[in-house]
Structure formats: structure tokens, C-alpha cells
Amino acid sequence: MPFFIKTEKFNDKTKRLSTEERKVYLLMHKDWVDDLIQSGKLILSGYLINEEKMPGGGGVLIVEAENYLAAKNIILNDPMIINKLVTWDLHEWIPVVKNFKNKLINHLG
């Protein structure tokens, strides 16, 4: 199955939230990711930091899905998207490493 990558950045609405308000939505996002993993989806999620280890570069989510539409339907259930807290983009990713999925699973194993 192909892999899809969602990239995202906080929008102005999110930047105006207090740290505590933001944490509520981020916990909802983490729970959503955990639920997907528990359902058997291959999904990775995280945020980007700069060389000083400061966040702000946005987030990345990698998901395996049957096709673009299936990946988009998964992504549209992300609480960050449902609550209109991020600008986002979705692309299919073509790994150039042979047996990428097996290597990834072995690495995470």
C-alpha cells in the first residue's frame, strides 16, 4: 500500500490560543493517532524543531492507505483539522528505499 504525508502548520487561530488551550487540542490529536495505531493503521506523527530544538516548524504525519482518497478521509478526522487549527497539505510519498515498510517496522519494532 502507498504512503501519504500530511504536513501542517498552526494557523493564526491556533497561535492566539493559550498554551493550555493548545494542549487540549494536541492531546486530542495524540489520542486520535493512538486510536488509529490501535486499529492497525501504520501511522507516524510528530512535530518539527529547529537547530535550537525549538518547535514551530509544523507537524508531519505519515500514513499508509489504499489510495489518496482513503488517506484524505483518515486525515480529515484529525482533531486539528476538524477544529480548523492548521493549514495542511497531503501528498503521496514514493519511497526510494527498497522494502521501506519492512525496514520501518523492524526499526520501530
32-56 pLDDT, tens digit each: 999 999 999 989 898 888 888 887 7
Cα 34 from Cα 50, distance rounded (Å) = 26
Mean pLDDT over all residues of the chain? 89
Specify the pLDDT at position 107: 60
% of the chain residues with pLDDT over 70 = 91
**Interval 43-102: pLDDT, tens:** 989 888 888 888 777 899 999 999 999 999 999 999 999 999 999 999 999 878 777 666
Indicate the DSSP class of residue 83. Answer: T
Catalogue the long-range contacts made by 15-24 (C-beta closer than 8 Å, 24 or more residues apart).
Answer: 17/85
This prediction has a pTM of 0.83
